Structure 1
């Protein structure tokens, strides 16, 4: 029996099946029973620099010995908080940005949504309330993020919308966005999207999608928000996905890769336009979190960014991109695999609809078979049968081969056992 309530879990199934992870190094982790696994998901998309980085642990310990943290409300801050803000602004694809820090990605999206609504009220446009998001998108699990997410199962069971004024559009359809903006542009506050959809199935954008969305936003005076919680800090081969796909947002939400998960931290990068009424004395943004800009977390982020820069890990992701993409395509020969997708060190193995309809337990069976082979992947149920691949950036080509070989064996075994030929 466990006292811990796991996220995204049917707790009736957890007792007797809980895996307690205890150590990690690079792409490898061990549980308390001594089993060794290749972490094909970088935990929850975040351990970009790999496990067991002593320099990050030492940076956090050193900061905690001096001052673990201090409130950033009002006029106080800490040296690592200021240093990290300057560093993030220097990296950002938004000129002259500022940073509002949070404790994670869900908080970052919540902050972005509140700021957008507050901004339009501050500039005398309170009618601009609607926030547009995409089908299949995921934007965290706070109230705003739950509604903005385009995975209906995540918002079921609450007796109605948690927040109002959210509209979803088809994933790749810019014409649907154009039509919506023509009809409702005067009431639309923002368009929010992930450069590459993550939990909705690892879905890269169609060619030219993001520049066209930016053009439509500018034409209709709609703010553009990039949810870079997964893609930020090198996951698709550039510091930010917006750089890779050629667009400039008004707001960027970040988390995960900023610390590689060594400490909780998130935030938003904000353009001069959006910050102006709040920095000029015209309005106040009454928002924040107890641990916003926490000193020890900022120390972790600075050490993590040092590693990313020193080891050229974003460039390494770009080099490994075609290798991973080619490797996952090899899985398409299996009878239960419909297709694969890849972008940077993100990939999806999509199981066929026919196989899933015939055997709804197929996805879980493949995940279990991979785990038995020492490969940790995640089944994205909201994406209708997708195996997630998002390893740490330090993965080697031989480790990619090992990972894909294990997944291929798992798929083949399950397909054979369940009568798919």
Structure 2
């Protein structure tokens, strides 16, 4: 199992032994910095790739080498690196009010941002609960669902349904909803009540439904109903789904899928939570992924692109119907985060949304998404590329051992080819993206929303070169 880091363990040493060490610092970042999702032994005797600045679509390491940031940091930097207006908005807010909690108090930036998100969100999603990030937003949504059903006289409804290989976060609740077993095993037992159904990977659809995407979509959605009935409708509180599933390599929904999921949730009085930590704020060319596919969630969880990564912020956006019992009498939602709705983060989010409008970033994605898809689909002529899938500016390229049979790599081959070569080679060739095998081996790309054909071509050309060399290792 590879790390979900864009650059996997064991990347080639990019640093010179002669590089000066600043006084008071060690020679290797890994001496004291415990990096996230990282095989730390890989840096026991080699320096850690270290990025020190960014501008537009590009980043530079401490040796001055330039890379195309083809993952927007981590599906985050929608507006690009080095946007002075975002930094200035943060500084102005910090000078005025650097911090105040939103525990029984408010501050203007949080009020204005909540108003703005409520206006942008579909339907009656009018209540905004701020957090520090995506996993916290998911944790919030599950807690809201549990307490909602207790407040409305159905305390037995606490379970959740999510999809295989789906990633929803690392807090104990969000991790329980996550469908990636190796991430969960070290921390079990987790929060009880989370159950898995098939995802929407049409490339790996069962033979019975592999002939037609719409038929497959109905089949996949019906597995949710099957799981609700198996657990008992009186015990299931919510279904958590991403508009385009990230882990496994960008699975878009088949036609009719979300329409059927909404019907099922309504039939059994189950909340539909759209986890849009990646898909919201323009990644698919719409403000929210639910708008892209025309379905109405009860809760949207979000983070990442809300601030273009300039400051941490997450938001769970909740329907008036779900909020209604929380607004009565002495009821309290006993949940919150010190830095949720941080004034500086809210200020930069507002400036970021202003930038979205001023530069028409959603329109840029809509105008160019077909060109991006077409450019990436050129890679299908390579023997190692089995599938290219995704939507908007969010794509996965699946690698296979045999295109005719769709045979994938075994664990040892994935270790040797994906981690041992592809990840490091992409980085060495100036492309920062993600090589991952949560599920089948994929390379994921998610350029900034400002990107156009020049960026698409650079992504395709670098992928072509590296994957052509990788095939020789097969």
Common fold: TM-score over 0.5: yes
Give the C-alpha shift of residue 112 in structure 1. 0.7
1:50-94 CA distance string (max 9 Å, x none)? 1110000000001001111101101x1211111111111110013
Report the equivalent of 2:433: 377
Report the equivalent of 1:204: 252
Kindly indicate whether residue 356 of structure 2 is the aligned counterpart of residue 356 of structure 1.
no
SS at match of 2:438: helix
Kindly indicate whether residue 221 of structure 2 is the aligned counterpart of residue 174 of structure 1.
yes
Q: Do the aligned partners of 1:122 and 1:282 also contact (CA within 8 Å) in 2?
A: no
Give the C-alpha shift of residue 20 in structure 1. 1.1
Kindly indicate whether residue 247 of structure 2 is the aligned counterpart of residue 195 of structure 1.
no
Gap regions ≥5 residues in structure 2 = 1-27, 201-219, 402-406
Q: Do the aligned partners of 2:422 and 2:466 also contact (CA within 8 Å) in 1?
A: yes
SS at match of 1:137: coil
SS at match of 2:321: helix
TM-score (norm 2): 0.86
Give the C-alpha shift of residue 355 in structure 1. 5.8
For 1:140 and 1:62, the matched residues in 2 are separated by: 32
Q: Do the aligned partners of 2:125 and 2:298 also contact (CA within 8 Å) in 1?
A: no
Q: Do the aligned partners of 2:408 and 2:440 also contact (CA within 8 Å) in 1?
A: no
TM-score (norm 1): 0.96
Summarize the alignment of residues 240-319 of structure 1 with structure 2, pairs less than 5 Å apart.
240-281=288-329, 283-319=331-367
Among 367, 374, 381, the alignment partner of 1:326 is: 374
SS at match of 1:30: strand
Q: Do the aligned partners of 1:80 and 1:298 also contact (CA within 8 Å) in 2?
A: yes
1:137-187 CA distance string (max 9 Å, x none)? 1101111111111111111122x3310000111113112112223342121
Residues 118/355 of structure 1: CA separation in 2 closer, same or farther (3 Å cut) = closer
1:374-394 CA distance string (max 9 Å, x none)? 011111221321101011111
Q: Bigger shift: 295-304 or 352-361?
A: 352-361
Q: Bigger shift: 274-283 or 387-396?
A: 274-283
Among 110, 133, 143, the alignment partner of 1:104 is: 133
SS at match of 2:42: coil
For 1:164 and 1:5, the matched residues in 2 are separated by: 29
Q: Do the aligned partners of 1:232 and 1:254 also contact (CA within 8 Å) in 2?
A: yes
Give the C-alpha shift of residue 242 in structure 1. 0.3
- Structure 1 residue ranges, 4+ long, deviating more than 4 angstroms after superposition: none
Matched length? 416
Kindly indicate whether residue 383 of structure 2 is the aligned counterpart of residue 335 of structure 1.
yes
Among 337, 344, 350, the alignment partner of 2:392 is: 344
1:339-375 CA distance string (max 9 Å, x none)? 1112000111101154622722211211211111101
TM-align CA RMSD? 1.3
Kindly indicate whether residue 278 of structure 2 is the aligned counterpart of residue 222 of structure 1.
no
Report the equivalent of 1:47: 77
1:93-120 CA distance string (max 9 Å, x none)? 1325110000000110011111111111
Kindly indicate whether residue 467 of structure 2 is the aligned counterpart of residue 411 of structure 1.
yes
Q: Do the aligned partners of 2:126 and 2:318 also contact (CA within 8 Å) in 1?
A: yes
Residues 136/277 of structure 1: CA separation in 2 closer, same or farther (3 Å cut) = same
For 2:465 and 2:106, the matched residues in 1 are separated by: 52
Q: Do the aligned partners of 1:336 and 1:355 also contact (CA within 8 Å) in 2?
A: no
Gap regions ≥5 residues in structure 1 = none
1:269-305 CA distance string (max 9 Å, x none)? 0101111111122621001000111000001100111
1:321-356 CA distance string (max 9 Å, x none)? 111111111112212221111200011110115462
Q: Do the aligned partners of 1:228 and 1:241 also contact (CA within 8 Å) in 2?
A: yes
SS at match of 1:97: strand
Residues 355/270 of structure 1: CA separation in 2 closer, same or farther (3 Å cut) = closer
Q: Do the aligned partners of 2:125 and 2:299 also contact (CA within 8 Å) in 1?
A: no
Summarize the alignment of residues 228-243 of structure 1 with structure 2, pairs less than 5 Å apart.
228-243=276-291
